[in-house]
Amino acid sequence: MSDFTNQVAIVTGAASGIGLAIAHKLLAMDAQVILFDLNEPALHEAFDQYRTKAEIIPLNVTNQQLVDEAIAIVIAKYKKIDILVNCVGITGVTNIKSHEVSSEDLHKVFEVNFMSCFYTSRAVLPHMAAVKYGRILHIASIAGKEGNAGMLAYSTSKAAVICMAKVQGSEYAEMGITINALAPAVIQTPLVDAMPEAQVKYMTDKIPMKRCGTLEEAANMAAYIVSSQNSFTTGFTFDLSGGRARY
């Protein structure tokens, strides 16, 4: 895979989990990476070693005005955005039946998991279209394809992310912009560590490899998806499921 020299990338949810791993991967491949996350101390702890190639922007990506302002700052400084990777996500309350789901929790999960992806992609797409190049990756989940019992809010929000990638991929296919989703099964992240043990077992039991995926595996696949070499696949959902998804 070619490196990302002279490319400008934004990674949301960069302070932990898959976002952190992808940001480190892009930095290692010489991209200029702008890091969006509310957890500013964690961003500094993880990325202060990359003082010349990483820029920290503490940001609530569920606030459209703040997202628009942050994108404007990036464009003013770097003149372009080549890559957007949306990794921010929460599970919400899990291991409950649908009739037990509160509307408050459902709205919160959709704001973080879906609306943030909409806000950031909406803000960067005009700039990508202007130069006829761009790569957008929305991190979804196998739960968005299959629907995990006990995870209504999470599963349906990730299904919405997958559908948005399909719509956006079709809309911008002739503009040199690819927009795809990545649907991991269980990846060993702090988010998964916070789930009830029964919920994690329910998910890993469905994986033929009988294990969680690794952050390195997720970062490697993401790096290919947002590379210039991935030029003929858009509106697609890449699987990272240990054999669980074969469709």
Predicted confidence band of residue 225 (pLDDT cuts 50, 70, 90): very high
- Whether residue 18 has pLDDT greater than 90: yes
DSSP state of 213: B
Q: Distance of CA 196 to CAs 13, 96, 200, 238, Å?
A: 22, 11, 7, 27
Q: Flag whether the pTM goes above 0.75.
A: yes
| DSSP string covering 66-117 | HHHHHHHHHHHHHS---EEEE------S-S--GGG--HHHHHHHHIIIIIHH
Query: pLDDT tens digits for 83-96?
Result: 999 999 999 998 89
Are the beta carbons of 158 and 111 closer than 8 angstroms? no
Is residue 154 flagged as an active site residue? yes
The residue annotated as part of the active site, out of 133, 154, 172, 202, is 154
Query: pLDDT tens digits for 169-215?
Result: 999 999 999 999 999 988 887 777 887 888 788 778 889 998 889 99
Please report how the helices 116-131 and 152-171 are oriented relative to each other, as an axis angle in degrees rounded to 10.
10
Please give the Cα distance from 56 to 191 (Å, whole number).
22
Query: pLDDT tens digits for 135-171?
Result: 999 999 999 999 989 999 999 999 999 999 999 999 9
- Whether residue 58 has pLDDT greater than 90: yes
Indicate the domain borders of the chain: 8-238
Please give the Cα distance from 106 to 88 (Å, whole number).
16
8-238 homologous superfamily: NAD(P)-binding Rossmann-like Domain (3.40.50.720)
